[in-house]
Structure formats: C-alpha cells, structure tokens
Amino acid sequence: MNRRRAATSLALLLVLILCSSAAASHGFRNRLLPLDAQTVAVGPGGALLPVRDPGLLVPGSRVLAGTPVARAELAAERAWLAAGSVPTVPELGDTTLVRDALLDLRTLSLPTGVPVAAWSPAWRYVWPRDSSLAAVALARTGHPADAEAVLDFLQRVQPDSGVFAARYLPDGSGVPDDRPAQLDGVGWALWALAGVVETRPVTEQPALIARYRSLLDRSAAAAQRAVANPRSLPPASSDYWERRERRLTLATAALVRAGLVAAGRLYARAGDPRATAVDDAAGRLAAAVTRGFAADGYPRHLGGTRSSVDLGVVFLLPPFAPDPRADVVAAWRTAPQHLARPAGGLAPGGSWPDDGVSWTTATSSYALAAATLGDRAAAASWLRWLDDHRTSAGSLPEKVLADGSPAAVAPLAWSAAAVVLSAAALSG
C-alpha cells in the first residue's frame, strides 16, 4: 500500500513538473516586454527626454513642441539634415525610415557628440560596436565632423593594449562596470576608421590617417597579437551577445579579420610597410576561419552546430569583408530559417532563446549585408519589415514581440545606423 501511494505520489509529482515546465515554456515563447518610449527628443534647456506621446513632438522632428528652445532646436536639426544627404530606396516608396534613423543618430549624439546605444539608463553608454556603425553611417551621409567625433572618442578611451572595454561612459571618463574587455571592439574600430577615411577625397586621406595613427597602430597591433598563435585564431571573448564566452565565436573571429583587412588598406594608403604584415595576418585568420567553421556551416561557436548560426556569418560579408566565399554567402542565405521569429524579424542567433522576439539589430544587419551584396530584393524586404515595425514616433525599437508590437528601448543606434548604411548602399 505504501509502495502504491509512493508510486502514485511520484507520478503526480512528475505530471506537475511536466505541466509546470510546459506552462513556463509556453509563456517564454510568447515573452511580453514593455516599450520604454516611442523616441527621445530635445526638450527644455536642450535636455534629452524620453517621449511616450508622439503628439508632443514638432511633426517630423525629434524636438518637443512648445518649449522655449523648440524653434532654435528645430532650426539646428533641419540645418544638420540639409548639410548632408538622406539616401532613398525606391523599393520602399514614400517613407521617413531613413530620415528618422538619421535624426535618431543625431539626437543620441547630442549630449557629448558621440552616440550612446540608446537613451534608457542601462543603454546610455558608448559601445565601440554601435558607435562604429554610427560613424560610418554619418560619414556616408555627409556628416564628417560627427563621424570623426566618434573616432576621436575611440582614440581617447583606447588603452595601450588596444583592446577596448565593452562600453564606456558617454563623457569618456571610464567604464560603468566590470564587464570583460571585448576583442571585437578592435575590429569595429579599424573597420570604422577605414570606412570614415574612405569617404574623403583621396588627397585628404593621408592627413586623416595621420590624425588617427594611435587608434590605427594600437588596434592593428592588438589584432595581430590575437592571431599570433599556431592556430591563427583569436582567443575566446565576449561579442555582441555580451556574455562571457569559453569558446571562440565566429563573430569575434570575423570582426578581428575585418579589422585587419581595414588596417591593411589604411597602412597601404599611408605608404606604411606594415601593410604587408597586417595583410598576412588577415590572410592567415581567413584561412583559419574556413578550416574551423566552414565544415559545420559557420556556426556561432567553433565546433558548434549548423543551426546555431548567428550574425558572425554577416561579419564575413561586405561591408565587413570583401570578396566573400560562396559557402559563406550560402550560409547567410539559409540562416534566417534558424533565426526567424513569429513577427517576421530575426533573433540574434539560431541558439538564442526561443522567446518569440525579433531584434532590429539582427534584422537591420541582414539588410545591410543584402544591400552591400547587391541583393536589392532581400535588402528591401528586410528594410520594409523594419519600416513596418517602428514605434508610432518613427524610431526603431530594439525588439519586436511575436504580435508585431515594438518593445524594449527606442531608438537604438545600431539599428538606425545599419538602416542608414543599407539605404546608402542601395542608393549609391
């Protein structure tokens, strides 16, 4: 009798555990997150404020209406836009997507001249990744001073080791926490430096390279040291997932390679013989990435599964890497089947938690790769999805829920910059 009761109790316990797990799993796949704000705008005294009611904005701007500074701030915003260009994508029709993305990059830069990732407190920092994307987007659209302000910041905060912290306080006075340094920042900085330099007339490029020689030299040396080993692969490091890693991720390897390729071009333009050694390191790393990742379909981690593919494969494509291998392009084309989420956007990776949430960072990065590869149909499709899932104020949110609702923070510098760069590639 006691055995029967014990068996019955055990069976009931197992049923409860399974039911609880199923319920938890169901809730997790349909995660609900609030939207912090519709956008961020300039308010009284020039302060940036989160905006939850778009009706409070001067239409078509990032300026709060009815404040003493509204007229002056609106004039400054319009003059800034007029000084550059707003790339157009005919396939998108009449949309303010790119214009609003540019305005968001400008607004996120206003306090210090360098864009923070977003305005919500936990995002109000400068990530080398987001700011590098923003720098190239600003340079490509005719805002060289804003782009160079980012390079100035990166050169100022970079330690002698060349390896950047994960993120920095906006005034450049230090870091906000004890997150480990991220090796991919070296690649981002070099890629951004080359991207900004190459938007300038050829006659001006040597002087600009000389201005950022410290950023170039320290970053290139750090990238070379990272692959100066028998495998020619960099060590494990946190990447855009911002998690501690015990195994090398493709994203880190790809971005170190992107940095080395960029550094080689910069040294060559400067007539510096170091170009040869840097190019050699880039070639060895490229071969090592192929040996280590190709057979498994370019997964997230070295030795990972094909279904774990993530944005690392994007960073092996233009605009980060020229002349991509055919198998990399193939992996990129099939990856969305592992990254797709219910609302139609993409998750950061195939092994990312299945919570139903699309990320605009991942989706805009896919648009950028498609645009620079010349796949206009794919690029326009991703951009159209992003356009359809903006907040009511026109900003790109970080996340989109399974039902299509914008969520988390808005605007987001990474997504805004990737949209601008995609449009620039398609219109250029």
Cα(391)–Cα(54) distance, rounded to whole angstroms? Answer: 9
| Model pLDDT for residues 68-84, shown as the tens digit of each residue | 999 999 999 999 999 99
pLDDT at 1: 37
Beta-strand runs (E) in 117-183? none
Question: Of the ranges 21-30, 166-175, 293-302, 357-366, which one carries the lowest mean pLDDT score?
Answer: 21-30
The top-level CATH class assigned to 30-427 is mainly alpha
Q: What are phi and psi of 63, to 5 degrees?
A: -125, 130
Cα 150 from Cα 60, distance rounded (Å): 26
- The predicted model scores a pTM of 0.92
Which amino acid, residue 398? E
Burial class (CB in 10 A: 0-12, 13-18, 19+), 308: buried
pLDDT in tens, 302-361: 999 999 999 999 999 999 999 999 999 999 999 999 999 999 999 999 999 999 999 999
Contact between residue 420 and residue 139 where contact means Cβ atoms under 8 Å apart: no
Mean pLDDT of the chain: 93
Rounded Cα gap, residues 356 and 31, in angstroms: 6
Q: Bridge-partner residues for 358, per DSSP?
A: 400
- Give me the count of residues in the chain: 428
* Banded pLDDT at 19 (limits 50, 70, 90): very low
Query: Over 80: is that where the pLDDT of 166 sits?
Result: yes
Residue with tokens 């998750």: 347
Percent of residues, the chain, with pLDDT higher than 90: 92
CA–CA gap between residue 209 and residue 197 (Å, rounded)? 7
Q: What are the start-end ranges of the H helices in 92-127? A: 97-109
List pLDDT tens digits, range 183-194: 999 999 999 999
Provide the token pair at 11.
Answer: 């069976």
Domain boundaries, the chain: 30-427
Beta bridge partners of 400: 358, 406
> Per-residue b/e over 364-376, b at no fewer than 16 CB within 10 Å?
bbbbbbbbbbebe
